[in-house]
Structure 1
Amino acid sequence: MSEKQRSEMEEDARSFLEKFVEEFPAPLEEGNPMPVSPLSQRVSLEELPGESLELGLRLLAARGAPPGLCALLCHAALGQLLKSDLSPFHCPQAEAAQEEEEEEEENTPLLRSEPVQRLFLNLLMDVASAWHREPPGPPPPAAGPPHCSVHAIRNTRRKMEDRHLALGHFNQLFGLQDGVERAYYGVFDGHGGVDAAVYCATHLHVALSKQDALQSDPSEAFKAAFTHTDRMFRAKAKRERLRSGSTGVAVLIQGQELTVAWLGDSQALLVRRGQVVTLMSPHKPEREDEKQRIEDLGGCVTFMGCWRVNGTYAVSRAIGDFDQKPYVSSDADCGSVQLRGGEDYVLLACDGFFDAVSPSEVPGLVQDALRQTLDPEGGGGGAAADHWDGGVGQGVAERLVGHAKTAGSSDNITVMLVFLGPPQQLLTPLPAPEAGPAPQESFF
Structure 2
Amino acid sequence: MEKQLHPPHIPSTPSSSSRRKSDFLHIIKSAACLTSSSTDTGKGKSRLSANKVTHGFHLVEGKSGHNMEDYHVAEYRYENNHELGLFAIFDGHLGDGVPSYLKDYLFDNILREPVFWSNPEVAIKRAYISTNKIILENSMRLGPGGSTAVTAIVVDGKDLWIANIGDSRAVLCERGAANQLTVDHEPHIERKRIEEQGGFVTILPGDVPRVNGQLAVARAFGDQSLKAHLSSEPDVRHVPIDSSMEFVILASDGLWKVMKNQEAIDMIKTIKDPQTAAKRLTTEALARKSKDDISCIVIRFRC
TM-score range, shorter chain: 0.7 to 0.9
SS of the residue 2:302 aligns to:
coil
Matched to 2:165, the amino acid is L
SS of the residue 1:356 aligns to:
coil
The structural deviation recorded for 1:157 is: 2.2
Q: 1:360 to 1:67 in 2, by over 3 A?
A: closer
**Residue 275 of structure 2 is aligned to residue 400 of structure 1:** no
2:252 corresponding residue in structure 1: 350
Matched to 2:73, the amino acid is L
Matched to 1:165, the amino acid is V
Q: For 1:353 and 1:332, how far apart are their aligned partners in 2?
A: 21
Q: For 2:130 and 2:265, how far apart are their aligned partners in 1?
A: 35
**Residue 145 of structure 2 is aligned to residue 253 of structure 1:** no
**Residue 290 of structure 2 is aligned to residue 409 of structure 1:** yes
Instruction: In structure 2, list runs of 5 or more residues that go unmatched.
Output: 1-23, 36-41
Alignment map for 1:160-179 (pairs within 5 Å): 160-167=68-75, 169-171=76-78, 176-177=79-80, 179=81
**Residue 201 of structure 2 is aligned to residue 307 of structure 1:** no
Give a deviation string over 1:241-269, Cα, whole Å, max 9, x none. Answer: 71110000001112422111111001111
Give a deviation string over 1:170-189, Cα, whole Å, max 9, x none. Answer: 22xxxx23x33321100000
Moved more, 184-193 or 212-221: 212-221
SS of the residue 1:344 aligns to:
strand
The structural deviation recorded for 1:37 is: 1.4
Q: 1:342 to 1:144 in 2, by over 3 A?
A: closer
Q: For 2:52 and 2:25, how far apart are their aligned partners in 1?
A: 31
Q: For 2:84 and 2:110, how far apart are their aligned partners in 1?
A: 12
Q: For 1:141 and 1:232, how far apart are their aligned partners in 2?
A: 34
Name the one with the larger helix percent: 1
2:7 corresponding residue in structure 1: none
The structural deviation recorded for 1:338 is: 1.4
1:211 corresponding residue in structure 2: 113
Kindly indicate whether the alpha-carbon contact (under 8 Å) linking 1:196 and 1:245 is maintained by their aligned counterparts in 2. Answer: yes
Higher Rg of the two aligned structures:
1
Alignment map for 1:80-119 (pairs within 5 Å): none
Alignment map for 1:180-259 (pairs within 5 Å): 180-238=82-140, 240=141, 242-255=143-156, 256-259=158-161
The structural deviation recorded for 1:421 is: 2.1
2:194 corresponding residue in structure 1: 294
The structural deviation recorded for 1:332 is: 1.5
Give a deviation string over 1:45-82, Cα, whole Å, max 9, x none. Answer: xxxxxxxxx94899xxxxx9x988xxxxxxxxxxxxxx
Kindly indicate whether the alpha-carbon contact (under 8 Å) linking 1:188 and 1:249 is maintained by their aligned counterparts in 2. Answer: yes
**Residue 62 of structure 2 is aligned to residue 155 of structure 1:** yes
1:37 corresponding residue in structure 2: 28
SS of the residue 1:298 aligns to:
coil
Moved more, 209-218 or 189-198: 209-218
The structural deviation recorded for 1:234 is: 1.7
SS of the residue 1:299 aligns to:
coil
Kindly indicate whether the alpha-carbon contact (under 8 Å) linking 2:163 and 2:236 is maintained by their aligned counterparts in 1. Answer: yes
Q: For 1:318 and 1:285, how far apart are their aligned partners in 2?
A: 11
Kindly indicate whether the alpha-carbon contact (under 8 Å) linking 2:201 and 2:213 is maintained by their aligned counterparts in 1. Answer: yes
Among 258, 278, 285, which residue is 2:187 paired with? 285
1:270 corresponding residue in structure 2: 172
Alpha-carbon RMSD = 2.7
Q: 1:241 to 1:291 in 2, by over 3 A?
A: same
TM-score under structure 2 normalisation?
A: 0.81
Q: 1:36 to 1:254 in 2, by over 3 A?
A: farther
Kindly indicate whether the alpha-carbon contact (under 8 Å) linking 1:188 and 1:200 is maintained by their aligned counterparts in 2. Answer: yes
Q: For 1:354 and 1:35, how far apart are their aligned partners in 2?
A: 32
Instruction: In structure 1, list runs of 5 or more residues that go unmatched.
Output: 1-32, 40-53, 59-63, 69-139, 375-391, 423-444
Q: For 1:144 and 1:199, how far apart are their aligned partners in 2?
A: 31
Kindly indicate whether the alpha-carbon contact (under 8 Å) linking 2:45 and 2:54 is maintained by their aligned counterparts in 1. Answer: no
Give a deviation string over 1:144-178, Cα, whole Å, max 9, x none. Answer: 862111111112122211110101x222xxxx23x
SS of the residue 2:214 aligns to:
coil
Kindly indicate whether the alpha-carbon contact (under 8 Å) linking 1:145 and 1:183 is maintained by their aligned counterparts in 2. Answer: no
Alignment map for 1:13-24 (pairs within 5 Å): none
Give a deviation string over 1:367-403, Cα, whole Å, max 9, x none. Answer: 35x1xxx6xxxxxxxxxxxxxxxxx543221111011
Q: For 1:393 and 1:241, how far apart are their aligned partners in 2?
A: 33
2:19 corresponding residue in structure 1: none
Kindly indicate whether the alpha-carbon contact (under 8 Å) linking 2:164 and 2:183 is maintained by their aligned counterparts in 1. Answer: no
Q: For 1:401 and 1:414, how far apart are their aligned partners in 2?
A: 7
**Which structure has more RCO (C-alpha within 8 Å, separation ≥ 6)?**
2
The structural deviation recorded for 1:292 is: 1.3
